Structure 1
Amino acid sequence: MPTTKSPIWHPFTQHALQGEMTKVVRADGAYLHTADGRRIIDAISSWWVVTHGHCHPHIVSAIQEQAGKLNQIIFAGYTHDPAEELAAQLLKVAPRGLDYVFFSDSGSTSVEVALKMALGYWHNIGQQRRCIVVMQHSYHGDTIGAMSVGARGVFNAAYGPLLFDVTSIPFPASGREQATLAALESACRNEVPAAFLVEPLILGAGGMLMYPAWVLTAMKRICEASDVLFIADEVMTGWGRTGSLFACEQANVTPDIACYSKGLTGGALPLAVTLCRAHIFGAHYSKDRMRTFYHSSSYTANPVACAAAKANLDLWWHRDSRERAASLAAMQERAIEPFRSDARFENVRRSGTITALDLKTSDGGYLADIGPKLQAFFNDRNLLLRPLGNTIYVMPPYCVTAADLDEIYAAIGDAADALA
């Protein structure tokens, strides 16, 4: 039997290869402070969730105040001010045309909700559409439905018997965008799908793959022409990451269903929402209880999490938050520019505040041997960077400084010399 010092089973961790876990005792801004006295720059926003910075005082204050008033209540038949106020604010900042908000607790569950909304819509209007169209290399979470609509591979190989079939279209790589659009048009015409599910502008766990906004616009038009529901998974791309509050804004697209999580609470607490158009809610609105939307979790719309999210939106209403995100995007462009001509790297790219580049190695992909070596190298340099195989990406909180970025990119260059 394996022996470990702790009984905890960590996510996405092979314990037979992982050394002792780094114990973090506190955090502030863009920094993590460890039990052994180190200060680590959080260069990936603690798995893409932290936006304004760790332990932002306005969000912390909102959590403390709400926890002393109402910390949890069943959300079937009951409601509360933090949820009502948050929903109203979300509909003000989300793409115009989204009308209803359904709460859940993670990115995966927000996608599960979206899939069930889409299938329930068609069922309730008397059309048995079941096919879901997705994009190659996509990732939408680790619950069964979310895995089913993600790319088949290392993340879900062991669970194949549980997954339902989907129709996949190719990723719109540069110069091959028309092939993607043609494949989507063919799928919409021949499969008569219930929905098309897509990560707007950038595929995260699939390798930080980026494509232009005009492709997203064209995909939405194809779906509209065939009356196929368009689902935008903005779990990672939302909250300023791609240069606008939500990635769909850059394509002038309003999805039929949108999924938001990660930065929804500024990274303070788990919460997710699935927004939809009125006709999808309307298909479930009936005196016939069989048409009820049968989905919930025990902590749906937890008041403390909703208060944190509302505080996060308060910050986004202020110009300085958006200016800070825009400033980070500009700093990221300056920092990544020298790597575009660096022969050690390829596919150097940026979308808003996110940069990514591929280290040239003899092997690539998520399981490339270079990945754990890079991660260990960065940890020794007091940086939280978690490469996707040979793909190194930088997605820091918006409060990161230019000096922090200099330290991050210097380490990336040094890693190429030491490990490539």
Structure 2
Amino acid sequence: MQKVANTYQTKKMQEKGALQKRDKKHLWHPLKQHQTHPESLAIVKAKGCILTDENGNEYIDAISSWYTCMFGHCNEYITSRVHQQMQVLDQVMFSDFTHEPAIQLSENLIKILPQNQNRIFFNDNGSTAVEAGIKMALQYYFNLGEKRNTFIAFENGFHGDTFGAMSVSGLSVYNGPFEDFLMDVQRIPVPDRKNHREILNQIQGIVAQNKVAGFIYEPIIQGAAGMKIHDANGLNAILNFFKTNDILTIADEVMTGFGKTGRNFASDFIETKPDIICLSKALTGGLVPLAITSCTEKIYTAFLSNEMAKGFFHCHTYSANPIACTAANAAIELLQTDEIQQNIKTISASHKAFQEYICKHPKVKTARFQGVIFALDLDTKMQRYGSLRDKLLQFFMQRGVFLRPLGNTIYIQVPYVITKKELQKVYKTIEESLAII
């Protein structure tokens, strides 16, 4: 039967664009307007930094497939560990049972997370990690006899697509149709080294007039906003204010976590640590979905009671899936190797050199980098999903580089295993694309 299936698949692949044609019959893709963009490129293989489509064309995955495959696609160390686990324990519900991969993952994470973190709660993806963090904050005060119903968040932040995560996000391009149904969220600017005093004054006013449960933020870098980098000292002052006023802080490290900023977590650059941290994406090296919401022991203790209703009644069917936990353990082990740590430093140094070079181009407004994350803003106005953005995307793909502009921002977030030759091709392709602006 397997041989017949493989023969059928090979035959289907012989027709150019066969998968792409079949895709259009039933599938509905995310972040896509199918009326104007009906085609989706069919990828049949991925290895290291290279994606291969059904027609044999290759592309450097310069954004690590939405910041997940940081150790390269189909990393043999991770896949071999997962293969072994699949033979032993595939899935078991986590409400009544536990298992070695989950226990090991909690131990591995606690070793590298900020020192105030002590409890690990499992989710499925970045949005649900944030959703759990929001619910933890709300119920924390509820269990203590307080009703708090307001959150504070940065302008232009992005935290996910579920309703709580949408509520605290500030990009209307994603939330527009749902804004009348969202939670009460007060927004503040990101600190820019000049405005943190004004921000603190604004926060004081918000706290005086609202029952604030928490502050949620992307530490150091706002991803979907265009890889915007903000001031760590200003953020630290904001976090200190919330800590002093007994307001929980939630760090969304879904994008920034696991080495991308040059340290294990972006929160490592900030003296005042968050009460809750949300993790996903690179957690499993991109192999399978998994997410974590970690918190302090103080928060966890507030849910301990003889009253069942004071427990945290939030659960996902695949919470702590043994296969996913095994992938995460392998990815964390790789992250801590000398080779990967040196690669991160090398990529960061390359980004610095490219930044100094490309900033001189008349069509570049500004450029920035942090760890393996690089971004430049074009000196032109662009719609986030407009024709010029589509033109750039097509240009990149035609030259064998997968980059996905965010409006007038072109950004790079390459896998840690990218070669010097591959990285230079990414830089060269970006520079060449400026001629079509």
TM range (shorter): over 0.9
Q: Which residue of 2 aligns with 1:352?
A: 371
Distance apart, 1:178 and its partner CA: 3.3
CA deviation string 1:332-389 (max 9, x = no partner): 111222111211011211111111111122x335244321111111111111100011
Q: How does 1:20-31 map to 2 (within 5 A)?
A: 20-31=39-50
* Alpha-carbon separation, structure 1, partners of 2:42 and 2:129: 30
Q: How does 1:138-217 map to 2 (within 5 A)?
A: 138-173=157-192, 175-217=194-236
SS of aligned partner of 2:359: helix
The verdict on how the C-alpha distance between 1:184 and 1:320 changes in structure 2, with shifts beyond 3 A counting, is: farther
Distance apart, 1:186 and its partner CA: 3.3
Q: 2:30 aligns with which of 11, 36, 44?
A: 11
Amino acid paired to 1:78: F
Give % identity. 38
Amino acid paired to 2:25: S
Q: If the length of structure 1 is used for normalisation, what is the TM-score?
A: 0.96
Q: 1:366 aligns with which of 375, 384, 408?
A: 384
CA deviation string 1:25-46 (max 9, x = no partner): 1111111112111111000000
Q: 1:86 aligns with which of 94, 97, 105?
A: 105
The verdict on how the C-alpha distance between 1:398 and 1:4 changes in structure 2, with shifts beyond 3 A counting, is: closer
Q: Does 2:160 match 1:131?
A: no
* Alpha-carbon separation, structure 2, partners of 1:51 and 1:132: 32
Distance apart, 1:190 and its partner CA: 3.8
Q: How does 1:1-400 map to 2 (within 5 A)?
A: 5-173=24-192, 175-361=194-380, 363-400=381-418
* Alpha-carbon separation, structure 2, partners of 1:183 and 1:367: 33
Distance apart, 1:260 and its partner CA: 0.7
Distance apart, 1:179 and its partner CA: 2.7
* Alpha-carbon separation, structure 2, partners of 1:327 and 1:408: 15
Amino acid paired to 1:120: Q
Greater alpha carbon shift after TM alignment, 163-172 vs 238-247: 163-172
Amino acid paired to 2:244: A
* Alpha-carbon separation, structure 1, partners of 2:425 and 2:95: 49
SS of aligned partner of 1:166: strand
* Alpha-carbon separation, structure 1, partners of 2:318 and 2:231: 37
Question: How many residues end up aligned between the 2 structures?
Answer: 416
Amino acid paired to 1:321: I
* Alpha-carbon separation, structure 2, partners of 1:233 and 1:95: 14
CA deviation string 1:72-127 (max 9, x = no partner): 11111111110011011101110001110000010000000000000010000111
Greater alpha carbon shift after TM alignment, 382-391 vs 369-378: 369-378
Q: If the length of structure 2 is used for normalisation, what is the TM-score?
A: 0.92
**Contact 2:23–2:40, Cα closer than 8 Å, also in 1:** no
Amino acid paired to 1:59: I
The verdict on how the C-alpha distance between 1:312 and 1:126 changes in structure 2, with shifts beyond 3 A counting, is: same
Greater alpha carbon shift after TM alignment, 22-31 vs 367-376: 367-376
Amino acid paired to 2:404: R
Distance apart, 1:255 and its partner CA: 0.9
SS of aligned partner of 1:82: helix
**Contact 1:137–1:171, Cα closer than 8 Å, also in 2:** no
* Alpha-carbon separation, structure 2, partners of 1:250 and 1:185: 25
Q: Which residue of 1 aligns with 2:9?
A: none
Distance apart, 1:180 and its partner CA: 2.7
* Alpha-carbon separation, structure 2, partners of 1:175 and 1:370: 33
The verdict on how the C-alpha distance between 1:368 and 1:5 changes in structure 2, with shifts beyond 3 A counting, is: closer
* Alpha-carbon separation, structure 2, partners of 1:402 and 1:175: 37
* Alpha-carbon separation, structure 2, partners of 1:266 and 1:305: 10
**Contact 1:195–1:230, Cα closer than 8 Å, also in 2:** yes
CA deviation string 1:34-73 (max 9, x = no partner): 2111111000000111111111111001111111111111
Distance apart, 1:17 and its partner CA: 2.2
The verdict on how the C-alpha distance between 1:50 and 1:180 changes in structure 2, with shifts beyond 3 A counting, is: farther
Q: 2:431 aligns with which of 408, 413, 419?
A: 413
Amino acid paired to 2:124: D
Distance apart, 1:322 and its partner CA: 1.5
* Alpha-carbon separation, structure 1, partners of 2:25 and 2:425: 32
CA deviation string 1:294-314 (max 9, x = no partner): 100111111100000011111
**Contact 1:29–1:53, Cα closer than 8 Å, also in 2:** yes
Structure 1: segments with no counterpart, 5+ residues: none
* Alpha-carbon separation, structure 2, partners of 1:186 and 1:329: 40
Greater alpha carbon shift after TM alignment, 245-254 vs 140-149: 245-254
Cα RMSD of the aligned pairs, angstroms, is: 1.5
CA deviation string 1:279-325 (max 9, x = no partner): 11111111110101010011111110000001111112322222211
The verdict on how the C-alpha distance between 1:132 and 1:256 changes in structure 2, with shifts beyond 3 A counting, is: same
Amino acid paired to 1:91: I
**Contact 1:284–1:292, Cα closer than 8 Å, also in 2:** yes
Amino acid paired to 2:101: P
* Alpha-carbon separation, structure 2, partners of 1:351 and 1:315: 20
**Contact 1:170–1:183, Cα closer than 8 Å, also in 2:** no
Distance apart, 1:152 and its partner CA: 4.5
**Contact 1:30–1:54, Cα closer than 8 Å, also in 2:** yes
Amino acid paired to 1:41: I
Amino acid paired to 1:58: Y
Q: Which has the larger radius of gyration?
A: 2
